[in-house]
Amino acid sequence: DFPGGYHYHMRKDIVKKMVNGEIKPYIFHMSWTLNKVNKLEYMKQMGMWFVKEQCIGKQVDEIFAGEVDTTDNTETCCSAEPIIQCFYRDKPSVVPCRDAPAKDSNGQSFW
């Protein structure tokens, strides 16, 4: 399956199947999303983010500060488990985000 931002924003039924494990996306592109900040928030909220904070938006030489061998940067930048963080109660999430603020005007919880 190849769901994306359209499904995230418009097809909550499909997103709930993803959360329940009924649909396992091969790849997910957060299209139909306003900006990079929102894309990152939504990916973290859905448990689809594995890049550690210290590596986001940085060049390799900034991350490794002059180290000679930077070929194996997986432990430094990649998490083995998804990095999950709640941002909005009314956006799809892999965990309930009931205490988070609403993003949209109706503010109805995804859960």
The pLDDT value recorded for residue 78 is: 92
CA atoms within 13 A on the CB side of 78: 5
Residue 2 has pLDDT above 70, yes or no: yes
Which tens digit of pLDDT belongs to each residue from 52-102? 998 998 888 888 887 666 567 688 899 999 999 999 999 999 999 999 999
Q: What is the mean pLDDT of residues 17-28?
A: 93
Residue of 60, 28, 46, 65 whose CA lies nearest to 110: 46
Q: Which helix (H) or strand (E) holds 40?
A: helix 36-45
Q: Which of 23-32, 33-42, 61-70, 80-89 has the lowest mean pLDDT?
A: 61-70
Q: What's the mean pLDDT when you consider all of the chain?
A: 91
